[in-house]
């Protein structure tokens, strides 16, 4: 099967890119043929995996993909992960986007050799593609730090990616590690149920002002890329969503320094203090899930791989577009990717 464009990944980044291809096709005499390959059995990308209390940084009105605004959220706080999943499911149906699932892409050959096509190797067979857009997100690649004593610890160790809610931690002594949004939200989630909750961060948590949400983050990221500001990091690390604000202001959530090492029964700090824990949750981030590309160079700003103009990236972080790893921000990178694909294919 020959296609003009294959999009790998059917989360928000893949869908936004597909939407822009549909729009671009309306203006073309010969439409581009394309499909989206996604290895999940259902729509929604990583939003299917979020824990029940996970809430967005922003209200629905500032969490929309191109073309169709996210429907209003009627619950408390900001929209839940399930609301985003339902929105992506409806988005896909509304535009009748050609998503094939479950189809896992295991490799892409022909990269760097313009004399031949790209060949996408997938669980349902191979297909040739003029352009491959990678939109595989990062949920599949949780980052675990290496900390002395990790192997000695007798309790459970989990990552943000495994966290499914507070029930499993009821009455336990829990250490949550990480000073970003996941760490803050999971610590806030566990504070009311854990017997003891310690939240360890590398530096004092830096909360964004309470009125700053995803829209401001998008604007900050955009300004930084334009060389006109210090970027999202200059604002802080943690969006003070209502659940985190409540835990911080009403329940006394505060952070401890990072321990030096894990021990068989808990952790030890540099000053010799030891504390016992039953469970550690590593909220230490994610890396791009790009195993199928085996080391192909990523863009250094923009969507195009320096190794091959036919290999594009959408949705991973500022290196492939300002705030491109957000709902509000991915549209711009998706539009760039669709335009680049057409330019490459039109020669």
> For the window 248-287, what string marks contact with ligand FAD as x by the rule CB under 6 A?
--------------------------------------x-
Judged by CB under 6 A, the chain residues 305 through 324 that form the site for ligand FAD are 315
d(CA 89, CA 96) in angstroms, rounded, equals: 11
- Which of 55-63, 243-251, 262-270, 301-309 is the region at the interface with ligand FAD (rule: CB under 6 A)? 55-63
Total count of residues recorded for the chain: 347
* CA-closest candidate to residue 142, choices 238, 339, 286, 250: 286
Preceding amide of 102 cis, omega within 30 = yes
Pair type for strands 261-262 and 304-305: unpaired
Beta carbon nearer to ligand FAD, 9 or 322: 9
d(CA 105, CA 96) in angstroms, rounded, equals: 22
* CA-closest candidate to residue 313, choices 111, 25, 114: 111
Judged by CB under 6 A, the chain residues 115 through 144 that form the site for ligand FAD are 135-137, 139-140
d(CA 219, CA 141) in angstroms, rounded, equals: 27
> For the window 66-105, what string marks contact with ligand FAD as x by the rule CB under 6 A?
--------------------------------------xx
Beta carbon nearer to ligand FAD, 104 or 275: 104
Asked if residue 286 lies in contact with residue 139, where contact means CB atoms within 8 angstroms, the answer is yes
Beta carbon nearer to ligand FAD, 101 or 268: 101
- Which of 11-19, 144-152, 256-264, 269-277 is the region at the interface with ligand FAD (rule: CB under 6 A)? 11-19
12 near ligand FAD, judged by CB under 6 A = yes
Judged by CB under 6 A, the chain residues 229 through 248 that form the site for ligand FAD are none
């Amino acid at each position: 099967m020959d296609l003009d464009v294959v999009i790998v990944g059917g989360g928000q980044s893949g869908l936004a890119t597909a939407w822009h291809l549909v729009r671009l096709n309306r203006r073309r005499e010969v439409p581009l043929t394309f499909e989206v390959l996604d290895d999940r059995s259902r729509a929604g990308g990583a939003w299917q995996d979020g824990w029940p209390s996970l809430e967005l940084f922003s209200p629905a009105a500032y969490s929309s993909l191109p073309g169709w605004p996210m429907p209003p959220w009627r619950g408390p706080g900001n929209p839940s992960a399930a609301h985003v999943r339902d929105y992506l499911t409806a988005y896909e149906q509304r535009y009748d986007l050609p998503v094939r699932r479950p189809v896992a892409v295991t490799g892409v050959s022909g990269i760097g050799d313009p004399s031949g096509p790209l060949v996408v190797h997938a669980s349902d067979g191979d297909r040739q593609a003029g352009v491959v857009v990678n939109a595989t997100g990062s949920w599949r690649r949780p980052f675990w730090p290496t900390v002395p004593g990790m192997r000695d610890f007798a309790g459970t160790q989990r990552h943000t990616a495994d966290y499914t809610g507070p029930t499993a931690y009821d009455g336990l002594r829990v250490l949550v590690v990480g000073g970003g949004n996941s760490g803050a939200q999971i610590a806030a989630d566990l504070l009311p149920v854990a017997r003891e909750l310690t939240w360890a961060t590398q530096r004092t948590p830096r909360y964004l002002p309470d009125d700053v949400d995803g829209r401001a983050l998008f604007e900050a990221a955009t300004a930084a890329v334009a060389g006109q500001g210090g970027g999202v990091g200059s604002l802080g690390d943690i969006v003070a969503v209502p659940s985190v604000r409540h835990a911080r202001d009403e329940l006394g959530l505060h952070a401890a320094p990072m321990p030096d090492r894990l021990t068989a029964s808990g952790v030890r700090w540099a000053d010799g203090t030891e504390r016992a824990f039953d469970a550690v949750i590593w909220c230490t981030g994610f890396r791009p899930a790009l195993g199928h590309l085996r080391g192909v160079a990523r863009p250094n700003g923009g969507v195009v791989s320096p190794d091959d103009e036919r290999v594009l990236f959408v949705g991973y972080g500022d290196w492939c577009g300002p705030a491109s790893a957000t709902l509000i921000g991915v549209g711009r990178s998706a539009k760039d990717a669709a335009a680049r694909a057409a330019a490459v294919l039109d020669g």
